[in-house]
Amino acid sequence: DIQMTQSPSSLPASLGERVTISCRASQGISNNLNWYQQKPDGTIKPLIYYTSNLQSGVPSRFSGSGSGTDYSLTISSLEPEDFAMYYCQQDASFPPTFGGGTKLELK
């Protein structure tokens, strides 16, 4: 199975700040990388698919990039509702696997 490693596991940040969350795959995944946001109540919101494609309704302050084994999610200017858990997930190879998550918290 492909292992997905996210960093950092915890990211303190301030409103209006630009932040980047990293995700590394144990082998190349050819841009088959997706991102999800999870709120404290458990609600999961899909954000980005295939590295850089925003799901309908996702604000443009979210963006994704990367290639090969290294990918990232960037939020250009943090809003209050962005403080949550973020997970990356690969679907290049069976079985699909998720990263361990990054907790974006208010500094």
The C-alpha atoms of residue 64 and residue 13 are separated, in whole angstroms, by: 19
CB of 54 to other proteins, least distance (A): 12
CB of 92 to other proteins, least distance (A): 8
> Are the CB atoms for 2 and 93 separated by under 8 Å?
yes
Judged by the rule CB under 8 A, the positions of this chain that interact with other proteins are 32, 34, 36, 42-46, 49-50, 55, 87, 89, 91, 94-101
Smaller CB distance to other proteins: residue 70 or 91?
A: 91
Smaller CB distance to other proteins: residue 19 or 47?
A: 47
The dihedral of CA 40, 41, 46, 47: what is its sign? negative
CB of 107 to other proteins, least distance (A): 22
CA distances from residue 58 to 29, 55, 68, 86 in whole angstroms, order as listed: 24, 6, 25, 14
Smaller CB distance to other proteins: residue 70 or 98?
A: 98
